[in-house]
Amino acid sequence: MDARVELAAASGKRGCNAWVIGDDEEVIVVDPGTDARAVLDAAGDREILAVICTHGHEAHTGAALEVAERDESPVALHPRDRLIWREVHGDQLPEIEMEEGGSFEVAGVTLEVLHTPGHSPGSVSIYCEDLGVVFSGDALSADGPCSHDGGYPDFAGQLSAIGAELLTLPSETRVLAGHGEESTIAMAEKRFDSWVTAGPEISGDVDD
């Protein structure tokens, strides 16, 4: 298996991590962020099969249309984040409406869609069993659930999604979040009860 994960762009802890998954021929981009040139440079001459947005916030989707335009690639977003998307991109809507259980294929591996709402109604995480990674967007970072605009739109729902969809993955799974450093499901399992106890007061530096 030649598929691999590459960090295409990151702008510090508060910047968005943009990910490229694929091989020497084709890739899928997850969360292109706002720097289209950095993502396109990372993709190089490889075909971009799709651009997946884990949720609709501008920090994660700002460059989506520009990145997708190069190879006329479809953009994927959960339909419950369409309103957030429209605030950034107007009426130019994503071509693919992701749902729980949906999947993408690239370079011989499968990317599975997990609906992990709370940070936003349509937040998803993208799990690749073949590579042992989950791209958690802003559902979960190394510091815990990510806040937005200084608070949590649905903290209980976010914790519920983490518990039901992410903590059920193999403990060694690498968690590649939308911000900050990578972690593992095992690390999240150890800290989950403390997040529940602390409630929304756990909000740290990640706020996007």
Whether the predicted model's global pTM rises above the 0.75 cut: yes
Strand ranges in 53-160 using DSSP code E only, listed in sequence order: 75-77, 96-97, 103-106, 109-115, 124-128, 133-137
| Res 12 pLDDT > 50 | no
Pairing of strands 75-77, 96-97: parallel
Per-residue pLDDT tens digits for 25-45: 999 999 999 999 999 999 999
pLDDT for the residue numbered 154: 95
| Res 11 pLDDT > 60 | no
Confidence of residue 206 (pLDDT cuts 50, 70, 90): low
| Res 8 pLDDT > 70 | yes
Query: CA-to-CA distance for 149 and 132, rounded, in angstroms?
Result: 31
Amino acid, res. 206: V
Scanning 9-121, the segments in alpha helix (DSSP H) are: 36-43, 58-61, 64-70, 82-89
Per-residue pLDDT tens digits for 74-84: 999 999 999 99
Burial class (CB in 10 A: 0-12, 13-18, 19+), 147: buried
Quote the Cα angle for 50-7-171, to 5°: 95
Per-residue pLDDT tens digits for 143-196: 999 998 878 999 999 999 999 999 999 999 999 999 999 999 999 999 999 999
